[in-house]
């Protein structure tokens, strides 16, 4: 039975208005540092970032009596509020109809390797609690008539644990969490950019003492940059991933994350070799991942050259029309590029073909008013000639209409409404897209309570490097919610998050201000625009989903040279409001060097191709095939099994990036809890392992 969803329901799930923030008041306490008088704030804890993970941490901290504040560069402007694809889903383990349980879910989360086994179990066992609490706050996750959660299959998920309330699920999550934060009257400082984590103590034994920020509300004639100081003993990094790292990106504009911020504080980062790349519309227009029903509707995909000539390029890669159409469909739940799926005419051959068209200067489109064209010499497209898994799915979904736009409207009318909100009508004209960077799986190295190696500093969400090589779609959202709660539990139990009452400020604040004054030089020829162009071009062209040892090595040398220039020449900017961006681009340049350092180390150690990238090598063991023959240019190394059991750690020491390797933490699936034996550890807070940090 087909039920037509009324327009007002589509509107409510697509146009998600965010709550208005309460007015901010500047602190009455002022201090003069380096000739600048700036406001000083003394909360118990600073949460850096206002996405779903940061809001969860702030709400849970407040509920436990911690005086937490949120600082945000741009409220509701991050990935969880503005992006889609895997950000549409949460995971459930609340039924066993397909043999599901927490241990099975943990195995699925860590299946790609380079992920701590205990972390995967933490995310699995915390999942139902997170889902239930979001429903309690008002998140409209769909249910069947008897109250069971509606679920579906997503990428790297063979069970079907994902659920969704449409393309705006993550934005709806931010909305309900933001409303709760405002109800709890958690202080929120918008247009406030963290530029330096302050700490004291010897290397390896230092502790957070505060955050130096640039705050729009603090700008004045005496303080044109808007410097402000948050003095605190606990910080939660929740500022998302390094969206500005790549030119070809589906991140919203201005997403810098906190990798550079963490690097400069001596914090260890992990798994920087691991990202996600996939098809989507670029952020020059409306950035959105084209996963799920967009491709399951099987639109016609083609390219256009400079003269306006169309190319049916996928017909050069697949052997039959059935094979071509079925693999377009599979991009729906195999959305991220994966090197192994280029083999045997798999779904990532679609990504490679699109990548090559874009590299040749041709624009790529999908047309929902045309079915896939036939492969030359084969029969035309027909719903009667599809692979069995594809035809069964479409039949179950009732999506057996003649045209892709009608199949899409049947499966997901919200997907059409979403683009209309941004003046793109995919029902009437083709949609331009490309292969883009979408997610950083690496980040700050944390333990099972979200702690970094810098005492008092925690990381959650995409800022934390907990995701391994691959993960089921939506697991990142679940991870942010689980760890947002766990860091709040740990911080509260530690008793460290109490306002610093003495009127002293960290000595490192003056050093940081001196450093930034020397770095910000209006007359420097090295401008924000120059750094952005160089970093993004290098990362997209040399460290994207297709790379090789020589290109990465050269890119690393160039990145080191750029950072040396920044230290010597400073960064030019045109006005005070742009100074914060200049510091963020200095951090992004450092993050770029860190990613390339890790990638170069991995390749030099014989690292092969896996989730994020194909490591092309003329002696590689794997060779993608196309209809017209072998794609020798894209011969690649296979992954080595031992690399799945370890993680690459990067730490900035002085001006160098140091590399270490550690084995994944393990989890004993046979270990069993016993109430009377284990309850005392909970009662006495031994479960938090305070002695380890």
Residue 458 to residue 97: CA distance in whole angstroms: 37
Average pLDDT over residues 559-583: 94
Residue 425 to residue 420: CA distance in whole angstroms: 5
Q: Could you read off the pLDDT of 12-25 as tens digits, one per residue? A: 777 788 899 988 88
Average pLDDT over residues 536-561: 97
pLDDT at res. 15 = 76
pLDDT at res. 85 = 44
pLDDT at res. 97 = 55
Structure tokens at 197: 């984590």
Average pLDDT over residues 47-55: 96
Q: Given the structure tokens 């938090």, which residue do they identify?
A: 688
At a CB cut-off of 8 Å and minimum separation 6, what does 359 contact?
none
Confidence of residue 148 (pLDDT cuts 50, 70, 90): confident
Residue 353: other Cβ atoms inside 10 A: 23
What's the whole-model pTM score?
0.94
Average pLDDT over residues 149-156: 75
Q: How far is CA 204 from the centre of its chain?
A: 28
pLDDT at res. 87 = 41
pLDDT at res. 532 = 97
At residue 205, φ and ψ (nearest 5 deg) are: -130, 15
DSSP readout, 223-285?
-TT-EEEEE-S-EEE-----GGG-SSB-SPTT---SHHHHHHTT--EE-TT-EEEEEEE-TTS
pLDDT at res. 89 = 47
Rg (alpha carbons) of the chain, rounded to whole number: 25
Q: Could you read off the pLDDT of 184-202 as tens digits, one per residue? A: 999 999 999 999 999 997 7
Burial group, residue 224, by CB count within 10 angstroms (0-12, 13-18, 19+)? middle
Burial group, residue 388, by CB count within 10 angstroms (0-12, 13-18, 19+)? exposed
In SS3 terms, 442-481 reads as CEECCCCCCECCCECEEECHHHECCCCCCCCCCHHHHHHH
DSSP readout, 660-687?
EEEEPPP--TT----HHHHHHHHHTTGG
Q: Could you read off the pLDDT of 66-108 as tens digits, one per residue? A: 999 999 999 988 877 776 544 444 555 545 555 568 888 899 8
Q: What's the mean per-residue pLDDT of the chain?
A: 92
Q: Are 620 and 638 in contact (CB under 8 A)?
A: yes
Q: Are 195 and 263 in contact (CB under 8 A)?
A: no
pLDDT at 252 over 90: no
Q: How far is CA 594 from the centre of its chain?
A: 17
The CATH number given to 509-642 is: 1.20.58.100
DSSP readout, 29-59?
-EEEETTEEEEEE--SEEEE--SHHHHHHHH
The closest of 412, 386, 382 to 399, measured between CA atoms, is 412
Average pLDDT over residues 252-262: 93
DSSP readout, 573-591?
-SSGGGHHHHHHHHHHHHH
On the CB side of 485, CA atoms within 13 Å amount to 17
pLDDT at 398 over 70: yes
Residue 269 to residue 20: CA distance in whole angstroms: 35
pLDDT at res. 88 = 44
Q: Are 127 and 133 in contact (CB under 8 A)?
A: no
% of the chain residues with pLDDT over 70:
96
Q: Are 112 and 468 in contact (CB under 8 A)?
A: yes
pLDDT at res. 620 = 97
pLDDT at res. 99 = 53
The closest of 458, 455, 446 to 487, measured between CA atoms, is 458
Q: Are 237 and 265 in contact (CB under 8 A)?
A: no
Residue 364 to residue 357: CA distance in whole angstroms: 7
Q: Could you read off the pLDDT of 275-284 as tens digits, one per residue? A: 999 999 988 7
Residue 495: other Cβ atoms inside 10 A: 10
Q: How far is CA 278 from the centre of its chain?
A: 13
pLDDT at 693 over 80: no
% of the chain residues with pLDDT over 90:
75
pLDDT at 219 over 70: yes
Each domain of the chain, given as residue ranges in start order, spans 278-438, 509-642
Q: Are 66 and 52 in contact (CB under 8 A)?
A: no
Q: Could you read off the pLDDT of 33-45 as tens digits, one per residue? A: 988 999 999 999 9
Residue 516 to residue 383: CA distance in whole angstroms: 62
Q: Could you read off the pLDDT of 405-454 as tens digits, one per residue? A: 999 999 988 889 889 888 899 999 999 999 999 889 999 999 999 999 99
pLDDT at res. 507 = 87
At a CB cut-off of 8 Å and minimum separation 6, what does 23 contact?
none
pLDDT at res. 360 = 96
Residue 313 to residue 117: CA distance in whole angstroms: 42
pLDDT at res. 86 = 41
Average pLDDT over residues 225-245: 96
Average pLDDT over residues 617-640: 97
Q: Could you read off the pLDDT of 443-462 as tens digits, one per residue? A: 999 999 999 999 999 999 99
pLDDT at res. 1 = 52
pLDDT at res. 263 = 97
Average pLDDT over residues 369-390: 97
């Amino acid at each position: 039975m087909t039920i037509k969803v009324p327009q007002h329901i589509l509107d409510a799930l697509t146009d998600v208005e965010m709550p208005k923030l309460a007015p901010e008041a500047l602190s009455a306490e002022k201090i003069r540092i380096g000739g600048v008088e700036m406001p000083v704030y003394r909360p118990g804890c600073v949460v850096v970032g206002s996405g779903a993970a940061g809001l969860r941490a702030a709400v849970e901290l407040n509920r436990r009596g911690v005086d937490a504040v949120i600082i945000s560069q741009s409220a509701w402007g991050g990935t969880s509020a503005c992006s889609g694809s895997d950000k549409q889903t949460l995971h459930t383990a609340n039924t066993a109809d397909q043999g599901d349980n927490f241990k099975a879910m943990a195995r699925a989360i860590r299946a790609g390797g380079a992920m701590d086994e205990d972390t995967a179990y933490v995310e699995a066992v915390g999942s139902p609690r997170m889902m239930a609490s979001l429903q309690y706050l008002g998140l409209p996750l769909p249910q069947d008539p008897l109250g069971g959660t509606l679920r579906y299959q997503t990428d790297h998920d063979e069970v079907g644990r994902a659920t969704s309330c449409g393309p705006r699920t993550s934005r709806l999550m931010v909305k309900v969490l933001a409303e709760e934060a405002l109800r709890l009257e958690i202080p929120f400082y918008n247009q406030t950019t963290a530029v330096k984590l302050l700490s004291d103590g010897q290397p390896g034994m230092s502790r957070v003492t505060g955050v130096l920020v640039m705050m729009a509300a603090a700008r004045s004639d005496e303080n044109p940059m808007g410097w402000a100081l948050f003095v605190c003993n606990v910080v939660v990094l929740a500022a998302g991933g390094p969206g500005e790292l790549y030119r070809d990106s589906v991140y919203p504009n201005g997403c810098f994350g906190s990798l550079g911020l963490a690097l400069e504080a001596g914090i260890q980062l992990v798994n920087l070799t691991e990202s996600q790349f996939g098809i989507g519309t670029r952020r020059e227009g409306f950035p959105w991942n084209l996963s799920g029903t967009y491709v399951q509707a099987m639109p016609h995909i083609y390219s256009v050259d400079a003269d306006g000539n169309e190319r049916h390029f996928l017909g050069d890669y697949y052997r039959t029309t059935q094979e071509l159409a079925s693999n377009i469909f599979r991009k729906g739940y195999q959305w991220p590029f994966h090197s192994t799926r280029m083999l045997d005419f798999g779904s990532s051959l679609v990504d490679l073909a699109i990548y090559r068209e874009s590299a040749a200067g041709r624009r790529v489109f999908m047309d929902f008013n045309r079915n896939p064209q036939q492969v030359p010499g084969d029969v035309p497209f027909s719903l009667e000639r599809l692979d069995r898994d594809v035809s069964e799915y479409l039949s179950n979904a009732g999506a057996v209409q003649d045209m892709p736009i009608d199949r899409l409207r049947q499966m997901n009318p919200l997907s059409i409404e979403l683009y209309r909100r941004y003046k793109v009508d995919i029902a009437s004209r083709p949609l331009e897209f490309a292969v883009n960077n979408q997610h950083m799986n690496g980040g700050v190295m944390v333990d099972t309570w979200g702690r970094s190696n810098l005492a008092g500093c925690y990381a959650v969400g995409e800022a934390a490097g907990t995701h391994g090589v691959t993960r089921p779609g939506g697991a990142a959202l679940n991870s942010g919610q689980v760890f947002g709660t766990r860091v709040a539990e740990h911080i509260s139990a530690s008793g460290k998050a109490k306002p610093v009452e003495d009127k002293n400020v960290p000595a490192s604040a003056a050093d940081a201000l001196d450093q930034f004054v020397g770095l910000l030089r209006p007359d420097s020829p090295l401008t924000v625009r120059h750094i952005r162009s160089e970093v993004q071009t290098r990362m997209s062209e040399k460290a994207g989903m297709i790379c090789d040892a020589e290109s990465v090595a050269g890119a690393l040398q160039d990145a080191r040279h750029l950072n040396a220039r920044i230290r010597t020449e400073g960064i030019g900017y045109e006005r005070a409001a742009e100074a914060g961006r200049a510091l963020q681009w200095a951090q992004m340049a450092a993050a770029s060097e860190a990613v390339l350092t890790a990638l170069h180390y991995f390749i030099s150690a014989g690292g092969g191709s896996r989730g994020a990238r194909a490591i092309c090598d003329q002696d590689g063991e794997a060779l993608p095939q196309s209809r017209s023959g072998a794609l020798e240019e894209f011969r690649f190394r296979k992954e080595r099994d031992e690399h799945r059991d370890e993680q690459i750690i990067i730490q900035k020491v002085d001006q160098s990036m140091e590399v270490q390797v550690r084995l994944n933490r393990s989890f004993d699936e046979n270990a069993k809890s016993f109430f009377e034996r284990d309850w005392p550890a909970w009662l006495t807070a031994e479960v938090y392992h305070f002695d380890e940090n």
